[in-house]
């Protein structure tokens, strides 16, 4: 992913905007409506700035350096000017407030609205005049900030007009289209390379929509009755263009998603994307925060992580946000295109499409197409799972032979990692048997149905050095022990544990 926080932020903002629009359009109270419009400038920054903070933190960019770019300053200021103008205009249009259509005050509000929209061209001009090469993602941030501020400002200025003038309810379709379609886009967060004609067409559509909103506001404020026929034609035309633009974008994104996932694996991998990327972002956004809090105790800033069994890389964004570089190991061929699409351009992530085990060489891979998280190199583990009621309906097939290396080999090549995450479906012990170095911290998956295997992994770690231990049940991302346990305590705990079918054992070296 170009930025791990962007998709998460966009999904939440989309839900907030659509929810706020639905609630506000249901109320009949004019005081609530006018109060909401007056609060739009503040609401804008409450939505935009957290997203900007997520982006800047992930890209290691300081706010001071960002604000030294004139284009970014204009991008932050112009929506505020626009929304202050619409708030002022709302007071004028609302009966009982000072001022009236066509007055000096109405001209002032109209000028602010026009300036707010017209300044969109100014920050684009400034961005083009600035140096093209910005280090640490600053150029990328500028493009993100421009696009997101435009989308929120258009939604709020259009929503404000519909709250004051119910005759323009059709305007809700184009101004909220971007955020409505975004909820579709998070189901498969891919970034296709759009053809030139579409990029130009989408910009023209957005410009026409901005012109439409500005024209409708100014028409109402200045009582330009001659403009009425033009407005009646402009609104449905801009609505049609915007909906067509996002429908075409949906087509390109869907096609890209199908190209990235091999036929026969689409159902299973789409399920993984929903579980690891989509649902946590919309239904349980605090999960990412919990993951950061957990791994912050184990991964130092500037450190290095070996992610063994990366699958589709859902933990990579967490490690990157913590400032660590990542070596991700995933042998499933079906995951390759997605991982390369999302993380292939990140210089802090190195992807290894091979397995890790006890000895270097090769081994057959047992793939579960419908449940790719259960793919394994361990044939015995797979056979045992077929007899387990928890895995009823899960099937595996032998899918070729893949390359196997050892953790010691990887350490010789890339250095000693600060943390190793091991989640390889029954192959954990073989991975640990290929490790002789006492690393700073590591974790491995523990299955209640395979306690003997988990205890062997624990013994292997204890034999390598002095460690303290903890346990996180399921996908809770919460540690069981407030104070880390010693070997005997964790061993007793695991022997007696039966509350959840799985979890992760964490080991931290005692210095």
Q: Can you give the pTM of this predicted structure?
A: 0.81
One domain, residues 389 and 461: yes
> Which pLDDT does position 433 carry in this prediction?
95
One domain, residues 120 and 195: yes
Q: How many CB atoms lie within 10 A of CB 82?
A: 32
- Do the domain assignments include residue 21? no
- Do the domain assignments include residue 322? yes
One domain, residues 255 and 346: no
CATH number of 484's domain: 3.40.50.150
- Do the domain assignments include residue 24? no
One domain, residues 248 and 390: no
The domain containing residue 138 runs over which residues? 39-260
What is the chain's mean pLDDT, rounded? 87
Tokens (6 digits) for 241: 């263009």
One domain, residues 309 and 255: no
One domain, residues 236 and 342: no
- Do the domain assignments include residue 25? no
Domain end point (choices 204, 235, 260): 260
> Which pLDDT does position 166 carry in this prediction?
83
- Do the domain assignments include residue 7? no
- Do the domain assignments include residue 428? yes
> Which pLDDT does position 424 carry in this prediction?
92
Q: At CA 251, angle to CA 11 and CA 240, rounded to 5? A: 85
What is the DSSP code string of 33-92? HHHHHHTHHHHHHHHHHHHHHHHHHHTT--HHHHHTSHHHHHHHHHHHHHHHHHHHHHHH
One domain, residues 137 and 204: yes
pLDDT tens by residue, 143-201: 888 889 999 999 999 999 999 988 889 999 999 999 999 888 877 788 888 999 999 99
> Which pLDDT does position 133 carry in this prediction?
47
- Do the domain assignments include residue 298? no
- Do the domain assignments include residue 105? yes
One domain, residues 249 and 308: no
One domain, residues 228 and 107: yes
One domain, residues 235 and 308: no
Residue 454, CA distances (Å) to 227, 364, 432, 444, 491 in order: 75, 23, 11, 8, 10
One domain, residues 242 and 364: no
> Which pLDDT does position 46 carry in this prediction?
93
Domain end point (choices 193, 228, 260): 260
The full length of the chain comes to: 511
Number of domains in the chain: 2
Domain end point (choices 205, 228, 260): 260
One domain, residues 392 and 492: yes
Which residue positions in the chain have pLDDT lower than 50?
Answer: 1, 4, 98, 131, 133, 284
């Amino acid at each position: 992913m170009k930025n791990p926080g962007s998709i998460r932020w966009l999904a939440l903002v989309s839900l907030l905007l659509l929810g706020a629009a639905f609630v506000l359009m249901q109320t009949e109270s004019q005081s609530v409506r006018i109060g909401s419009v007056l609060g739009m400038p503040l609401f804008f920054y409450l939505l935009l700035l957290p997203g900007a903070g997520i982006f800047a933190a992930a890209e290691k960019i300081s706010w001071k350096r960002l604000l030294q770019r004139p284009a970014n300053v204009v991008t932050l200021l112009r929506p505020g000017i626009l929304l202050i103008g619409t708030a002022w205009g709302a007071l004028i249009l609302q009966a009982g407030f000072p001022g009236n259509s066509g007055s000096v005050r109405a001209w002032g509000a109209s000028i602010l609205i026009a300036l707010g929209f017209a300044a969109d061209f100014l920050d684009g001009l400034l961005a083009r005049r600035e140096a093209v090469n910005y280090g640490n993602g600053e150029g990328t941030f500028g493009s993100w900030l421009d696009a997101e501020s435009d989308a929120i400002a258009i939604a709020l200025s259009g929503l404000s007009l519909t709250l004051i003038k119910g005759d323009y309810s059709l305007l809700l379709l184009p101004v909220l289209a971007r955020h409505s379609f975004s909820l579709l886009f998070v189901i498969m967060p891919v970034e296709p390379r759009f053809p030139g004609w579409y990029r130009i067409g989408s910009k023209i559509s957005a410009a026409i929509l901005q012109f439409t909103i500005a024209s409708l506001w100014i028409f109402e404020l200045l009582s330009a009755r001659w403009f009425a026929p033009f407005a009646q034609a402009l609104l449905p035309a801009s609505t049609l263009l915007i909906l067509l633009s996002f429908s075409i974008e949906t087509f390109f994104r869907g096609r890209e998603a199908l190209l990235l996932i091999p036929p026969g694996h689409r159902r299973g991998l789409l399920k993984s994307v929903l579980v690891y990327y989509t649902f946590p972002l919309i239904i349980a956004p605090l999960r990412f925060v919990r993951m950061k809090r957990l791994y912050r105790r184990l991964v130092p800033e500037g450190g290095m992580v070996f992610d063994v069994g990366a699958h589709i890389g859902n933990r990579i964004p967490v490690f990157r946000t913590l400032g660590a570089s990542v070596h991700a190991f995933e042998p499933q061929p079906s995951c390759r295109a997605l991982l390369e699409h999302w993380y292939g351009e990140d210089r802090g992530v190195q992807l290894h499409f091979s397995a890790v085990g006890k000895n270097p060489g090769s081994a057959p891979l047992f793939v579960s197409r419908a449940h790719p998280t259960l793919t394994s190199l361990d044939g015995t583990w797979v056979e045992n799972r077929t007899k387990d009621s928890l895995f009823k309906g899960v099937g595996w097939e032998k899918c070729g032979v893949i390359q196997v290396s050892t953790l010691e080999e990887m350490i010789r090549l890339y250095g000693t990692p600060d943390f190793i995450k091991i989640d390889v479906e029954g192959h954990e012990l073989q991975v640990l048997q290929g490790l002789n170095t006492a690393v700073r911290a590591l974790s491995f998956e523990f299955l209640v149905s395979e306690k003997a295997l988990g205890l062997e992994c624990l013994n292997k770690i204890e034999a390598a050095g002095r460690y303290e231990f903890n346990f996180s049940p399921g996908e809770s991302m919460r540690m069981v022990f407030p104070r880390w346990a010693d070997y005997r305590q964790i061993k007793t705990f695991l022997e007696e544990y039966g509350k959840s079918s799985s979890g992760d054992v964490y080991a931290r070296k005692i210095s």
